[in-house]
Structure 1
Amino acid sequence: MATPASTLATDTAATTSTSAHANFDAARARRLTLHLADMIEDFYVIPSTAHRYAEALRTNVAAGRYDDCANDDDFGARVTADLQAVAVDRHLRLMTEAAVQKRMAPPVAGIAAPKSEQASPDMPHGIEAMAMIGANHDIAYLRFNQFSQDPASGEAARRFLVTHANARAVIIDGRPLRGGGLLPIDAMLPLFFDRTTTLARLETRAAAVAKYPEDPSPTLILQPSTPDIERLDHVIQPDAHETRLRNVPLYFLTSSRTASAGEHFALALRSTKRGVQIGETTAGAGHFGGFEDVGEGMSVFLPIGQTVDTRTGQGWEATGIAPDIAVPADDALRVALARLGEGG
């Protein structure tokens, strides 16, 4: 998503106010907040909520709410807290550009994979492990920390599954999976279905689609839409060449940190009844978008769309997706293996 080209909004608050912190520019904060309000109102995924966010920010600017921030980090945190007080959105936040860069860095190791499944240095981006596990090495195991949009990642995952298509089960470990895109999903899931299947629906703010057009994906099929919202169904075709995995047990391991594209994957398995989710309820980050430049060293993660269940029209923002089998994340792999007759 490219940066919105709209100019910064005119500062309409009183300009005689002075900041309690000499190094913090209150006029700049008001200017940036008003611009942020315009961005959210124009492009945020839910129009009615977008208006509420924008009005709250404008009211706060008029009241001098951000004039006495200690620094830019404090400014971003205060604006974010005010937005979350209007409506919870696990993605929407104002941050410094430095904080964004830190956030985009590779994740710190959390829940450990079994020693034999540790990632090798040449693993494709987003993949921590691909290995055959179990007493007879007949269970295919893949572990992701991100669903990377690098085609090499999805291709590597598919190649591993095809190479080991005689596996008696597949375990996809998404406990550290913090988000990403659809390419790995599109690469893997056609191996597990025997017919054309709708996985989920993406609803995107129409103004954002018009402003930031993207190359169409063959797996996203346009559905009847409205002037405000474009609707696309995520649809996969069965793999034309490999059929051996269509009926094997499929498990997806989750933690409270499994987010965004990882939750999209969980919803796809839930709505199609194709797999079993084991672990913890996911993070509840159901909206998608990207970091956008607000100006003068500040950026916002601006959610422009959401994924919903085609059966109910409901997403999972702020609630997460509950597992089929609820266990602590650290125990999820052990439980999956036990269901497959592994271990004591």
Structure 2
Amino acid sequence: MISLLKTQCLAWALILAVVFPFFVQANTPLSPAERAASIDGIVHILNQQYVFPETALKVSALLQQQEQNGALAAITTQEQFADKVGALMRQYSGDGHLNLALIAEQGGVSHRLTETEERKINNFAFEQARILQGNVGYLKLHKFWQAEEAHKVGHAALVFLSHSDHIVIDLRDSGGGSPQLVQYLISHFVPEGTLLWDLLDRNGKSTEQVRSLAVPDSELLKTKPLYILQSDGLVSAGEFFSYTLQQLGRAVVIGETSVGLAHYTGAAQVNDWLFVRIPMYRPINPVTGTNFEGVGVEPNIKVTAEMALYTALRLANKGR
């Protein structure tokens, strides 16, 4: 009888959670004083850390103006604040990397986005490594994970493909992630010590030169014709990968122009419930002297994302 009651209670709890989700998704109240203090905290962080000082000043002034003229008075919860003020920051800066997040929701302060999509979690987002018709090696990647295990999985996949005649890397459904994994994967295709990008701080001072690494069992890959597939949703780390190999003359990029989010992003705590993900460093490509921020990576061969793989296979199998 007790077991039956427990089962019935659990069933009702599940029904209530589905039918009345507001029972478990309560918003946290935010007073006008707390809202104003949070704006001040964001402004301080922007002017101390944002990659472009002039943009930081502009965004700060606009946020303070919005608060002072009462335009933010309708924001009465922490959740609304993170959502609406974060959107304003991106609107004023034109920077898709700039956003606010709740510490409780994210489980702490981190520049890494909480990932929930299965294909971006399973096997560290390496979904496929196979040989297509014509001995074309194909690798499908959904995200650049910041984990040592991701390096091992990526290396194993590329070594498996190294005896194919051509390599296709499919980033059409990929998101951002780790520049360290980008560096490591690129290192399979270029000579050790190749300058990949220079990292500048908000004052334009070089803080690091990122070069390709020594990678075992990668010699065959360094001479294989390489095609990278991208869509108009590709962002950040995925763009780094395609842009760097394209500008080095090492890969042909096929598909659509990507989003254009190039900056290194960190995280800074505003108060005990809020933090800001904020671009802090600007990468500079040694070939172009710039990057893809705001303009995206322009493909060598522009076709729809749906036609990108077909186009790559036609190129790889030309003459067969």
Determine if the alignment matches structure 1 residue 67 to structure 2 residue 73.
yes
Please give the alpha-carbon distance, in whole angstroms, between the structure 2 residues aligned to 1:73 and 1:24: 9
CA RMSD between the two structures: 2.9
Is the counterpart of residue 274 in structure 1 residue 250 in structure 2?
Answer: yes
Between Structure 1 and Structure 2, the one with more helix by share is: 2
Q: 2:85 aligns with which of 79, 82, 85?
A: 79
Between stretches 182-191 and 150-159, larger displacement belongs to 182-191
Normalised by the length of structure 1, the TM-score is: 0.75
Q: How does 1:144-223 map to 2 (within 5 A)?
A: 144-194=141-191, 196-205=193-202
| 3-state SS, counterpart of residue 307 of structure 1 | strand
The letter for the 1-side match of 2:51 is V
Take 2:71 and 2:38, find their aligned partners in 1: how far apart are those partners? Answer: 13
Give 1:179 deviation, angstroms. 0.8
Partner amino acid, structure 2, of 1:289: T
Q: 1:247 to 1:302 in 2, by over 3 A?
A: same
Structure 2 match to 1:105 = 115
Matched letter for residue 101 of structure 2: M
Contact 1:30 1:66 in 2 (8 A): no
- 8 Å CA contact 1:140–1:170 kept in 2: the answer is yes
Deviations, residues 119-173 of structure 1 (Å, cap 9, x unaligned): 9x9x5312122222x225x222211111111111122211222233211011111
Change (3 A) 1:188 1:86: closer
2:306 aligned residue: 330
Closer, same or farther in 2 for the Cα pair 1:190/1:78, shift >3 Å? closer
Whichever residue aligns with residue 62 of structure 1, its letter is Q
Q: Which runs of 5+ in 2 are unaligned?
A: 1-27
Number of equivalences: 289
Question: One-letter code of the match for 2:233?
Answer: R
Distance (Å, rounded) in 1 between the aligned partners of 2:272 and 2:157: 45
Alignment partners' CA distance in 1, 2:306 and 2:117: 18
The 1:238–1:193 alpha-carbon spacing in structure 2 relative to 1, beyond 3 Å, is: farther
| Cα distance in 2 for residues equivalent to 1:255 and 1:87 | 24
Q: Which of 128, 133, 136 is equivalent to 1:135?
A: 133
Q: How does 1:29-68 map to 2 (within 5 A)?
A: 29-68=35-74
Identity of counterpart residues, as a percentage? 24
Change (3 A) 1:52 1:230: farther
Matched residue type, 1:94: L
Asked whether the 8 Å contact 1:124–1:152 carries over to 2, the reply is: no
Query: In structure 1, how many angstroms separate the alpha carbons of the residues matched to 2:251 and 2:214?
Result: 16
Query: Do structure 1's residue 125 and structure 2's residue 124 form an aligned pair?
Result: yes
- Please name the residue that 2:270 is paired with: 294
Counterpart of 2:117 in 1: which secondary structure? Answer: coil
CA offsets 1:317-337 (integer angstroms, 9 cap, x no match): 222111111111122112111
**In structure 1, C-alpha distance between the alignment counterparts of 2:144 and 2:247, rounded to whole Å:** 20
* Residue range with higher mean Cα deviation, 317-326 or 59-68: 59-68
1:339, 1:272 → 2: CA distance?
20
CA distance in 2, matches of 1:104, 1:239: 30
* Deviation at residue 103 of structure 1 after TM alignment: 5.5
CA distance in 1, matches of 2:215, 2:42: 44
1:82 and 1:239, CA in 2 relative to 1: closer, same or farther beyond 3 A? closer
Structure 1, residues 271-329: CA drift from partner, whole Å, max 9, x if none? Answer: 20100111111111112213443224333211111222223332222221111111111
Counterpart code for 1:164: L
- Cα drift, residue 252 of structure 1: 0.9
Q: Does 1:251 align with 2:227?
A: yes
Of 177-186 and 260-269, more deviation after overlay is shown by: 177-186
Q: For residue 287 of structure 2, what is the aligned residue in structure 1?
A: 311
Q: Distance in 1 between matches of 2:274 and 2:136?
A: 46
CA contact (8 A) 2:159 2:217 kept: no
Instruction: Write out per-residue CA displacement over residues 72-96 of structure 1, whole angstroms, 9 at most, x where no aligned residue.
Output: 3432333234323432001112233
How far has the Cα of 1:268 moved from its partner? 0.7
Q: TM-score, normalised by structure 2?
A: 0.80
